Amino acid sequence: MHRHFVFCFLLFHFCCHARADLPVPPQVLDPQTAAEAWNVIRLSTGNVARLLKEDRLQEAPQQISLCSPALRLLARASTAPEHRQLIDQNTALAFRLVNDIAQAGMAQTQATATASFARLQATLDELKPAFDPADVNAEIHVCPQHPERLSTKSDATCPVCGGVLRVRRIPYTDVNPTPVTSLTKLSLESEAVLTQGVETRLRTRLQTIAGPPLASHQLVSLHGAPVRFLLVDQTLQDFHLLTPTGMDSPGIFEFAFTPAVAGPYRLWAEIAPAETALPEYPATDLGGEFKIVSRATRDFLDVVSTTVGGFRFDLTFTGGNGGSPPLRQVSLMRIHVSDSSGQPVTRLEPFMSAFAHLTGFYDDGKTVLRLHPVGGDILREDLRGGPWLAFKIRPPQVGFIRFFCQVRVDGRVITAPLGVNIVR
């Protein structure tokens, strides 16, 4: 078992630390009890099942590696003598199967990954009788502000801040995750009248699909805020990224913006319900019906270099069809930022917990991509970044994507429009 543990340990650190982009609750990496370990295994294997179903095999190694420390804890568990052999045999086999799934994911061999995953599930089922069913089926609840504080009790509160704990979730991917079923909807409190160049203040309502309002405490914070708004006109030229203010009434949020045109615009809320911890983008229209702009009336051309505010942005890709990101595969995009003299810019400032925000809108008017540089949130205001920004992308469909790259330099937010056509 030692050889397999070493490989799994190295794979785990490569996937979760070197890449450092899957937002994993800290205790997932170091479970302290059998209940915590089984919870990680259940969440991780459930995520792998979804990745395999969505044909996202190359992301399976990062997710399945989360089982490694949990299996290590179960292998050391104190148990009745009659269960010792069962634990030793099945944890050793589970380690090997985790490695097999990871290797199959890296080699892109779907059949091997699927077969190994089925064997892993069967092995875990054989292991379960050696443990208390309450531990095997435990839900772990964590504090949003102090994630190291956790409990198996649904009514527990945080001993540090007194806040109510939430059910722990592990995102199944950090690249364009989508909920199986949308849980939220967005509407305007009143009809918006837009005037070009005149600031407009709007009140919006966020609700569950069933109708009750969504308050901030029911949402997971994304890059430092529970709610943000994305706003773009139908020509995909005028973009706004806005952090709203909450009102006294739950689910009511207010913001102001100055439209470059009289409309129409489409407004998306960027939120992640605590129930799933997956981003959702409910939308509504402002200033008239947002209609898809036909390619016959507007050119949607690749824009991989642009200069805005004295700064040049150059977009490159690691591979794909004609230089564009490959369809429904994870690849890397890089943006290089330089100044008017051609010198690399290394003083990018933290902006909403990141050195850059990259927002993409497909020309179908429905599909949104939100990307952030690999490496996780930037939580210190004294840090500086650049000149290279790297983003992972998995285009879900063919079509033109208008990107807006936003950075902050010398206290000023720069928004650079770019674009790429995704082909088969």
Q: What is the pLDDT of residue 148?
A: 86
Say which amino acid occupies 163. G
CATH of the domain at 216: 2.60.40.10
Domain-embedded: residue 298: no
Q: Of 257, 286, 315, at which residue does a domain stop?
A: 286
Domain-embedded: residue 299: no
Domain-embedded: residue 62: yes
- Do 197 and 271 belong together in one domain? yes
Phi first, then psi, for residue 269 (nearest 5°) are: -95, 135
- Do 127 and 223 belong together in one domain? no
Domain-embedded: residue 206: yes
Which residue in the block uniquely carries the two structure tokens 């674009």? 419
Domain-embedded: residue 247: yes
Q: What is the pLDDT of residue 19?
A: 41
Q: What is the pLDDT of residue 403?
A: 97
Separation CA 213–CA 284 (nearest Å): 16
Domain-embedded: residue 241: yes
Domain-embedded: residue 165: no
Separation CA 222–CA 371 (nearest Å): 12
Q: Could you give the strand order of the β-sheet that contains 200-208, starting from the edge strand earlier in sequence?
A: 184-188, 200-208, 252-257, 245-246
H helices then E strands: how many in the chain? 7, 20
Separation CA 355–CA 371 (nearest Å): 11
Predicted TM-score (pTM) of the model is 0.88
- Do 258 and 323 belong together in one domain? no
CA-based nearest residue to 175, from 268, 105, 269, 279: 279
Give the three-class secondary structure for 343. Answer: coil
- Do 233 and 310 belong together in one domain? no
Q: What is the pLDDT of residue 141?
A: 95
- Do 117 and 193 belong together in one domain? no
Buried b (16+ CB within 10 A) or exposed e, 20-41: ebbebbebbbebeebbbbbbbb
- Do 349 and 269 belong together in one domain? no
- Do 309 and 282 belong together in one domain? no
Number of domains observed in the structure of the chain: 3
Separation CA 359–CA 406 (nearest Å): 8
Q: What is the pLDDT along the chain (424 residues), one digit of tens a residue?
A: 444 443 444 344 434 333 445 667 778 999 999 999 999 999 999 999 999 999 999 999 999 999 999 999 999 998 889 999 999 999 999 999 999 999 999 999 999 999 999 999 999 999 999 999 999 999 999 988 888 899 999 999 999 999 889 999 998 998 989 888 999 999 999 888 899 999 999 999 999 999 999 988 789 888 889 999 999 999 999 999 999 987 668 999 999 999 999 989 999 999 999 889 899 999 999 999 998 877 666 778 899 999 999 999 999 998 666 578 999 999 999 999 999 999 999 999 999 999 999 999 999 999 999 999 998 889 899 999 999 999 999 999 999 999 999 999 999 999 999 999 999 8
- Do 34 and 106 belong together in one domain? yes
- Do 258 and 312 belong together in one domain? no
Q: What is the pLDDT of residue 334?
A: 96
CA-based nearest residue to 323, from 305, 299, 337: 305
Residue 280 lies in domain: 184-286
Domain-embedded: residue 112: yes
Contact 394/175 with Cβ under 8 angstroms?
Answer: yes
Residues in Cβ contact with 113 at an 8 Å cutoff, skipping those fewer than 6 apart: 52, 57, 60, 100, 101, 104, 105
- Do 7 and 124 belong together in one domain? yes
Q: What is the pLDDT of residue 127?
A: 98
- Do 309 and 271 belong together in one domain? no
